[in-house]
Amino acid sequence: NQMCVFSHNHPISIPPPMSSPADIKLFGKWSFDEVNVKDVSLVDYINVVDQRYLPHSSGRWATRRFKKARCPIVERLTNALMMKGRGNGKKVMAVRHVKNTFELIHIITGLNPLQVFVDAVSVAGPREDATRIGSGGVVRRQAVDVAPLRRINVAIALITKGARLSSFRSIKSFPECLADEIIAAAGKTQNSFAFRKREEIERSAASNR
Element holding 106 (H helix, E strand) = helix 91-109
What pLDDT score does 14 carry? 59
Element holding 97 (H helix, E strand) = helix 91-109
For residue 47, give the nearest of 147, 144, 129, 117 by alpha carbon: 117
Element holding 74 (H helix, E strand) = helix 73-81
**pLDDT tens-digit readout, 160-200:** 999 999 988 989 999 999 999 999 999 888 888 899 999 99
What pLDDT score does 8 carry? 58
Q: What is the DSSP string of 129-192?
A: EEEEEEETTEEEEEEEEPPHHHHHHHHHHHHHHHHHHHHTT-SS-HHHHHHHHHHHHHTT-TT-
Q: Around 95, how many Cα atoms within 13 Å sit in the side-chain half-sphere?
A: 14
Average pLDDT over residues 79-95: 88
Q: What angle do CA 34, 37, 38 make, to 5 degrees?
A: 110
Contact by Cβ (8 Å): 99, 27: yes
Cα–Cα distances in Å, from 115 out to 8, 73, 97, 166?
Answer: 53, 11, 18, 23
What pLDDT score does 135 carry? 77
Element holding 96 (H helix, E strand) = helix 91-109
Average pLDDT over residues 91-99: 92
**pLDDT tens-digit readout, 103-141:** 999 999 888 899 999 999 999 999 989 888 887 778 888
0.75 exceeded by pTM: yes
How do 25-26 and 30-31 pair as beta strands?
Answer: antiparallel
Mean pLDDT score of the chain, rounded to an integer? Answer: 86
**pLDDT tens-digit readout, 15-72:** 555 555 567 888 888 888 888 888 888 888 888 888 888 888 888 888 999 888 888 8
